[in-house]
Amino acid sequence: MIKLENINRKDNTITCEAFVEDCEEMILLTFSISDGSMKSGTLPEGYEWCAIHLRMARKALKKIAETNSNEKRKTIMWC
């Protein structure tokens, strides 16, 4: 699970704060709408195994861009 908060779209970029699993440490994500790339902060120590979480967040931000959604927060869960 990953929580995206304070999702903000400005020009060609979507930024948000991300929180993986049960971690309270925030990771800043920046998604480029034009090329689909994403820059992210470093996963907190002990959460290196959460790389898939960042890929799931990128997929969600891409969908937000494609649908012109105005969501400000989103929780992503998968099995």
Domain ranges across the chain: 2-76
pLDDT at residue number 79: 83
What is the rounded CA–CA span in Å between residue 56 and residue 5? Answer: 14
> Hey, what long-range contacts does 45-53 have (CB within 8 A, 24 or more apart)?
47/20, 47/21, 47/23, 50/2, 50/20, 50/21, 50/23, 53/1, 53/2, 53/18, 53/20, 53/21
Given a cut of 70, the residues of the chain with pLDDT beneath it are none
